[in-house]
Copies of this chain bind each other. A is one copy, B any other.
Amino acid sequence: MRIAKVIGTTISTIKDEKLVGRKLLILRPADEKGKVYGKPYVAVDTLDAGIGDLVLTAHGSGGRQTDITQNSPVDAVIMAVIDHTVADGQVAYQKG
- Are B31 and A40 closer than 8 Å at their CB atoms? yes
Using known A-B contacts A39-B37, A47-B16, A74-B1, determine if residue A7 contacts B58 with beta carbons closer than 8 Å: no
Chain B residues near A75 (CB-CB < 8 A): 1, 58-60, 62-63
A71 to B47, CA, bound (A): 18
Closest to A65 in B: B73
Dominant SS at the A interface? mixed
* A42-B87 in contact given A47-B16, A62-B75, A66-B16 (Cβ < 8 Å): no
Min Cβ gap A61→B in Å is 5
Residues of chain B within 8 A (CB-CB) of A43 are 1
- Complex partner residue of A60 from B2, B56, B61, B87, CB under 8 angstroms: B61
Interface residues of A (CB under 8 A from B): 1-3, 7-16, 18-19, 24, 26, 29, 31-32, 37-43, 46-49, 51, 56, 58-66, 69, 71-77, 79-89, 92
